[in-house]
């Protein structure tokens, strides 16, 4: 990055229904592509967005974070005007929620210290037509107490290979730390909160699918520990469908605390 550039941090929300996820796939359009196209309407040079995460096909986001480098001489508006201008060129299912100038060495992916995903289930005989594209419908009665008991067992530092799809463990470690895994019940709406320092490919959906099977009595609450130990995806439960999952928030350390935090607990930055 040269001194003739400006780095901007964007927070983006999207309805994942129509997209192949954040990235372009052979199977369809990525959200990233749409946002980059909106930039092209505003600035002459093509830009590249760098995002904190890749969400999978059909997964939604409330607080996806990405950064972008712009030519200073072209960028003659305030960041909040930039958000408005981008939204004018984006479809209704993608919104830039906020934009702000960030430090030159900020990196949306490498600086992320934690992420929160939420997963929504509608647990009633009939689905809720108003939330049908945002919730997984489970018509059978679920044993919430067992699900909570089970959820607590996956919190902490574990090898999550049993809950992730094969793709992710070819190259990197499959050990991650979950800070939070719990279930809130409000009437028929169940919200799963999953917060951790990182997530493997399809890991959230593997955990939620397994917890739902615990709630259905198909997997014993304590069995989740043995499943973790096998480090084998075939031992884990089903994968919950994409449309109930939302990337809710990405956590970064406060700017002036970055140096001291890099070796400390990621939770301290939240």
Active site residues: 56
CA angle 28, 200, 184 (to 5 degrees): 95
Euclidean distance between CA atoms 138 and 148, whole angstroms: 17
Stretch that binds a second copy, among 71-79, 95-103, 147-155, 218-226 (CB under 8 A): 95-103
Task: Evaluate whether 142 touches 212 at the Cβ level (below 8 Å).
Answer: yes
Torsion of CA 220, 58, 244, 64, to 10 degrees: 110
Stretch that binds a second copy, among 34-42, 63-71, 82-90, 198-206 (CB under 8 A): 82-90
Each residue 157-176 as x (binds a second copy by CB under 8 A) or -, in order, gives --------------------
**Minimal distance, residue 85 CB to a second copy, in Å:** 12
Give me the phi and psi of 267, to 5 degrees please: -65, -25
Stretch that binds a second copy, among 86-94, 154-162, 190-198, 228-236 (CB under 8 A): 86-94
Each residue 11-40 as x (binds a second copy by CB under 8 A) or -, in order, gives --xxx-------------------------
Euclidean distance between CA atoms 201 and 55, whole angstroms: 9
109 contributes a contact to a second copy by CB under 8 A: no
124 contributes a contact to a second copy by CB under 8 A: yes
Q: Which is nearer to a second copy, 8 or 246 (CB)?
A: 246
On the CB side of 166, how many CA atoms lie within 13 Å of its CA? 1
Strand-pair category, 60-71 with 245-251: parallel
117 contributes a contact to a second copy by CB under 8 A: no
Q: Which is nearer to a second copy, 51 or 178 (CB)?
A: 51
Q: Which is nearer to a second copy, 58 or 198 (CB)?
A: 58
Euclidean distance between CA atoms 184 and 128, whole angstroms: 18
CA angle 223, 226, 229 (to 5 degrees): 155
> Site residues (CB under 8 A) for a second copy?
13-15, 60, 62, 80, 83-84, 87, 92-98, 124-130, 132, 134, 246
């Amino acid at each position: 990055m040269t001194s003739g550039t400006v780095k901007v941090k964007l927070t983006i929300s999207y309805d994942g229904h129509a997209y192949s996820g954040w990235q372009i796939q052979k199977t369809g359009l990525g959200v990233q592509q749409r946002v980059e196209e909106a930039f092209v309407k505003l600035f002459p040079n093509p830009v590249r967005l760098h995002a904190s995460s890749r969400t999978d096909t059909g997964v939604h986001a409330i607080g996806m974070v990405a950064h972008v480098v712009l030519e200073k001489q072209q960028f003659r508006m305030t960041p909040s005007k930039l958000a408005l201008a981008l939204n004018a060129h984006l479809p209704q299912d993608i919104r830039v929620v906020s934009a702000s100038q960030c430090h030159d060495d900020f990196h949306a992916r490498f600086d992320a210290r934690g992420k929160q995903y939420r997963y929504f289930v509608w647990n009633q005989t009939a689905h809720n037509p108003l939330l049908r594209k945002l919730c997984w419908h489970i018509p059978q009665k679920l044993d919430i107490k067992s699900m909570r008991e089970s959820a607590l067992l996956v919190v902490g530092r574990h090898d999550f290979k049993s809950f992730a799809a094969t793709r992710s463990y070819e190259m990197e470690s499959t050990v991650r730390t979950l800070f939070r895994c719990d279930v809130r019940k409000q009437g028929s709406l169940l919200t799963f909160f999953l917060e951790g320092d990182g997530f493997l490919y399809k890991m959230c959906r593997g955990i939620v699918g397994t917890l739902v099977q615990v709630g259905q009595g198909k997997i014993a609450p304590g069995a989740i520990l043995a499943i973790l130990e096998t480090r084998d995806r075939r031992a884990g439960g089903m994968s919950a469908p994409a449309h109930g999952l939302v990337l809710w928030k990405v956590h970064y350390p406060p700017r002036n605390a970055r140096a001291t935090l890099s070796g400390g607990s990621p939770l301290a930055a939240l």
